[in-house]
């Protein structure tokens, strides 16, 4: 039994409704018909690479993606995370671990979570950005919406509500996934890196999301001022 059939059978037994695909064209057909809750994406596919399909999905959707890979080269896995995957699992893997990773990703809140706030208000301008937490949306000051994945949006919400605080990688994992150790710390590093690069398009560079070596990250948006009239 190949891995696609194995996973389809296993996940069906776990109570999931499963649609499988082997090519980018089949993926597009599925996405046109429904919006999956999560995508398991093998990097080694017969026609297109998993990286190419991940890029294709990310152009159209923020659906959570877990990469499934047999590649030993960590750079290949990092490339997948860098393209917008939310997590990865390496073959051979335990089906119980896969199920746990799926549950962890699906536990991410679909609406803005409630954290003790730092005093920043919704709809505030910081740097050259306007963030609307209630809409899960980030706009440039020209009104152009920045495309963020679900994981990137969740991270920005978390950082927004903990602005100025030092957050360790493990603390970020606990807050994002409601479970310690749900993903590897390297996954958080790559997620932060992706968000940092997108925020850098607004003019300010690395100082907005600082790395404190050995300890974690601090989000420092600078002075935030209320903003009205942000486009939908």
pLDDT of residue 229: 52
- Measured CA to CA, the distance from residue 189 to residue 29 in angstroms comes to 33
**Residue 1 pLDDT level (bands cut at 50, 70, 90):** very low
Per-residue pLDDT of 58-94, as tens digits, reads 877 778 889 888 765 667 767 777 777 888 888 888 8
Whether the predicted pLDDT of 202 surpasses 70: no
Peptide bond into 92 cis (omega under 30): yes
pLDDT of residue 71: 64
Entry pTM: 0.57
pLDDT of residue 68: 86
Q: Where in the chain is the domain with CATH 1.10.10.10?
A: 124-226
- Measured CA to CA, the distance from residue 11 to residue 153 in angstroms comes to 27
Section 145-168 average pLDDT? 88
pLDDT of residue 38: 93
Q: Where in the chain is the domain with CATH 3.40.50.2300?
A: 3-106
Whether the predicted pLDDT of 57 surpasses 80: yes
Higher per-residue confidence, 154 vs 229:
154
Fold of 124-226: Arc Repressor Mutant, subunit A (1.10.10)
Fold of 3-106: Rossmann fold (3.40.50)
Whether the predicted pLDDT of 168 surpasses 90: yes
pLDDT of residue 86: 82
- The mean pLDDT value of the chain amounts to 79
For residue 198, give every residue at least 6 positions away whose Cβ sits within 8 Å of its Cβ, in sequence order, or none.
Answer: 146, 148, 152
Whether the predicted pLDDT of 32 surpasses 70: yes
Where do runs of H (alpha helix) occur along the chain?
A: 3-13, 24-33, 50-60, 74-83, 95-106, 150-161, 169-177, 185-200
**Residue 11 pLDDT level (bands cut at 50, 70, 90):** very high
With contact defined as beta carbons under 8 Å apart, do 220 and 210 qualify?
yes
């Amino acid at each position: 039994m190949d891995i696609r059939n194995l996973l389809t059978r296993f996940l069906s037994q776990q109570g999931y409704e499963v649609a499988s695909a082997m090519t980018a064209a089949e993926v597009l057909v599925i996405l046109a018909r429904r919006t999956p809750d999560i995508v398991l994406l093998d990097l080694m596919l017969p026609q297109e690479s998993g990286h190419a399909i991940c890029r294709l999905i990310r152009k159209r959707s923020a659906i959570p993606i877990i990469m499934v890979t047999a590649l030993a080269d960590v750079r290949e896995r990092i490339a997948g995370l860098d393209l917008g995957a939310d997590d990865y699992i390496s073959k051979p893997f335990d089906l119980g671990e896969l199920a746990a990773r799926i549950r962890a990703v699906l536990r991410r809140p679909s609406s803005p979570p409630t954290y003790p706030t730092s005093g920043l208000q919704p709809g505030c301008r910081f740097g050259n950005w306007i963030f609307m937490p209630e809409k899960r949306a980030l706009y440039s000051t020209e009104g152009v919406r920045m495309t963020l994945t679900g994981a990137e949006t969740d991270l920005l919400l978390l950082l927004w509500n903990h602005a100025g605080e030092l957050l360790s990688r493990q603390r970020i994992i606990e807050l994002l996934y409601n479970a310690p150790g749900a993903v590897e710390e390297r996954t958080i590093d790559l997620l932060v890196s992706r968000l940092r690069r997108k925020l850098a398009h607004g003019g300010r560079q690395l100082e907005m999301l600082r790395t404190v070596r050995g300890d974690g990250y601090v989000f420092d948006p600078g002075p935030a001022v209320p903003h009205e009239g942000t486009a939908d």
